[in-house]
Amino acid sequence: MKAVQIVKPNQLEVIDIEKPVIDPKNNVLVKMTAAGICGSDVGIYHGTNAAATYPRIIGHEMVGVVAEVGDNVSSLKIGDRIIINQVTSCGHCYPCSKNRGNVCDNLKVRGVHIDGGYREYIAVPESDCYLLPDSLSDQDAVMIEPTTIAVQACSRAQLEFQDTVMIIGAGALGSSMLRIVNLYSPRKIIVVDIDEPKLEAALQNGATDVINSKTEDVVTRAKELTDGYGPTVVIDCACFHGSFLTACKAAGNASRVITMGFSIAPDEINQFVITSKELDVRGSRLQNHRFQTVIDLINKGKIDLNGSISHTFKLTDAQAAFDFNDTHDPSIRKIALLND
Ligand code: MN
Ligand code: ZN
């Protein structure tokens, strides 16, 4: 069967590998139908993802259909449409003992540390499979994964309706974040970006205010928009040089600042800005069993992921898909690789 492997940075190959067989642990064989291209996949392809190891079959937004089940499988049957959890954890380390397997000491993320979903078939444990809503196509279902990332961040922020929220970045992650932040009906949602069309879209999708950080001072404007106080929650979905300090400066006393970036470039910050306001600075990584939460939100009609995918390519045309993604064509929202 075919799989898409990043042999080393900037070298993508469609390879032939053995079709996996199920065993008592990986007891569900999934025929992949759709897989998203995420910023982190692009990072692994271009060699800028610090977590990645090579060679690697990438892809962590993994949608498929159950093709075979082991004797010990009780909740799934052949033909079920599912999305696969990308996080695998050991179950016996300190974070796992605190039910935080997404930061397991022995964390293995499919498509990053272990092989992922850009392939025709994958064998995974039953417990990592989540049934898809009937209302969602396989290609649009890949967006469930980015949405889980946003749910995780809002949970880390302990978001409440009294909050005033500032989201830095209106790209793919920032848009998913806006969609989930909206569900909490906070008093304000301020979105920051440098791209006017993206800010326009944010206003249409529930942002109460926007700040163009190219032309406006973010800290000053954020305070103005929050009666001089500063947002009570700042979520940094952009992670550019200086964004962390900006987030901490803008945040009001006793606020929460959520970091999501993976940059290892140093960024200057001082302790006073955190201590003096007793900020809670919290990282949010991947997601911790959030798939069912997102699927429930879809089934209840609280969020609609239909039409999320702007472009599709055949799995075996992955090179063309990544090349097209590199053009940064403004029409690109989300690309999915399809296997039929
Ligand atoms: Mn992703
Ligand atoms: Zn663990």
Question: For residue range 50-72, what is the model confidence (pLDDT) as tens digits?
Answer: 889 999 999 999 999 999 999 99
Q: How far is the CA of 100 from the centre of ligand 2 (A)?
A: 8
Q: How far is the CA of 254 from the centre of ligand 2 (A)?
A: 31
Q: Are 14 and 316 in contact (CB under 8 A)?
A: yes
Q: How far is the CA of 102 from the centre of ligand 1 (A)?
A: 14
Other Cβ atoms within 10 Å of 97 Cβ, number: 10
Q: How far is the CA of 105 from the centre of ligand 2 (A)?
A: 5
Q: How far is the CA of 149 from the centre of ligand 1 (A)?
A: 8
Question: Binning pLDDT at 50, 70 and 90, where does residue 43 land?
Answer: very high
d(CA 25, CA 270): 48
Q: How far is the CA of 27 from the centre of ligand 1 (A)?
A: 24
> Which ligand has an atom closest to residue 90 CA?
2
Mean pLDDT of the chain: 97
Evaluated on CA atoms 299, 234, 39, 155, the torsion sign reads negative
Token code pair at residue 159: 């978001």
Token code pair at residue 243: 């964004």
Q: Is the pLDDT of residue 265 over 90?
A: no
Question: For residue range 65-92, what is the model confidence (pLDDT) as tens digits?
Answer: 999 999 999 999 999 999 999 999 999 9
Measuring CA to CA, which residue among 92, 95, 86 is closest to residue 122?
86
